[in-house]
Structure 1
Amino acid sequence: MQLFLALCFLLGIPSGAPDIHSAKLFYTASTEVPNFPEFVVVVLIDELQVMYYDSNTRRAVPKQDWANRMTEDVPTYYESQTQYLMGSQQTFKANIEIVKQRLNQTGGLHIVQNMYGCEWDDETDEVNGFRQFGYDGEDFIVYDLKTETFIAPVQQAVPTKHKWENNKAEMAYWKNYLTQECVGWLKKYVEFGRSSLMRKDLPSVSLLQKTPSSPLTCHATGFYPDRADLFWKKDEEELHEDVVKGEILPNHDGSFQMSVDLDLSGLKDEDWGRYSCVFHLAGGQEVSKRLDKREIRTNIITNWGNDDRGVTGGGLPTGAVVGIVVVAVLVLAGIGLAVWLKKRPQGFKPTNTSETSSSSGEDPAEKKGSSEEQSMLKPSA
């Protein structure tokens, strides 16, 4: 999958089966990006931001009230995360310069990113892990848990792939981390935040049209989570032709909105009743709105608002205000990596990685600038 530099992500629960939970951890280090911190760390549980750190504030802070409960087990949880991330910040800053040298680059805007985490199905107890690295918005190297190998989409990553795969102890460590330790912390977060993470709200659905010749828009807003689909169907068959589906967008209140357009140019009057717009929320709940001329709302207040189709004027609803937040999307340049092993890290902690590092267990936060690579926060069970 092509990774791109995105500075926004949607807060909510991810698409997928309703019983699957996820922990995703993102590091983003950058140079010469205007009005953006040089180093950002974001921790998401079910795509809901639960912790944040950046090089401007230099503090790891909870982003949900219930995330404060992590201190019930570890009273100094966030203070500990702050200390580790301050060390990671220095390492990532050095990493960018090393990557630039290896790629014969000089100054300018550059991004180093890393994402890893795990998924857990609370019905089947099935788990999965993922780990991806990249540079300047492009895939650099990706870990495949099933085969326990690395995929190098660019030639420059092949030496790193071989080096990491030959480090058997490190490979075993990451397999255990992604399938055991990460899942342990994910379950704890889900336990504390279940009321928010399991919330489900159905939307209001409206039919909108700008002019008589414009596509007809089915707009759903106010739903939660964003594991949802919106589509047009004729009789009982979902339509794919003459349909344009929009993206799911966040509202200011934490809910979501989306829309799907239908081209009416070839629609016969006698067939209107055969069409309907269907909203489907993960878990099986649905809202269906049959195509009815009397239900269409328009932003054109003219005589057309009372034409022979029965369309009424009055204006399109203003909709919800879209809220946008920073995302550090997948990626960290993979120039030589070997993770500093720690037996029992307390919570999500950073670990240094280097082509020359050992597995002595030395605290990576105290060895600033010594490594060429830095992985992300690592939860322990």
Structure 2
Amino acid sequence: LTVLKYFCVHVLQTIQGCEWDEITGEVVGFYQYGYDGEDFILLDLKKLTWIALKPQAVAIKQIWDADKDIIKTDEFYFNQIYPDWLKKYLRYENTPPSVSLLQKTPSSPVSCHATGFYPDRVDMFWRKDGEEIHEDVDHGEILPNHDGTFQMRVDLNISSVKPEDWSRYDCVFHLSDVKKDVITKLDKSEIRSNKGETRIIFDGNCILVVGLLLLLVCITGLFIWWKKQRLVKDKGNLIWRFHSL
């Protein structure tokens, strides 16, 4: 954060986070401010009080120490929330992503889709005969998942690829700092498509349409029957009145 004051530029820095010892399970949080490159004030998470590292920070310390609710909130985040996030992300780093081949229709590009990886420092591409290709390839953006992991896709236009050449193509997923890549061969039997789902939706629409037609026929038949009964009743009333005359 850069603050302008008396036409001079001052720099306010903050460092916050936590360290987790996997062996002992000890968690150490830290929350510190610096001003113009020098330590200024820090939060002692054990005593739950701010420590002024400069004489100018004493007044700020007194104000911040008086706000016990915020200090309690900081304690909760640094001792529970942040360590949980750290453990979760470390767990993700050791978990390989889920890579699958997707295709909307037989004429659509084949998407190599990877999800569940962390961090987002990845490279993903298509190869032919072991060499990376760029023609007929479309790279999608890296998108976040709801659990903090990421997903991405790379599309390959297969309209000009002969069926006998499919085995020459593969998709490579490379995660930064991980030596072993995830390689997925272009195999027609491994492609997941929504073709079957489309058929199910179409059948469901047909059933719905047929059901509405049957309901319409029933309503029409009931209306015709009611009109006939009303007509017979009206005729009977008319005949009765005629005889009454």
TM-score where L is the length of structure 1: 0.32
Name which one, 1 or 2, has greater alpha-carbon Rg. Answer: 2
TM-score where L is the length of structure 2: 0.48
Higher strand proportion, which one?
2
Higher helix proportion, which one?
2
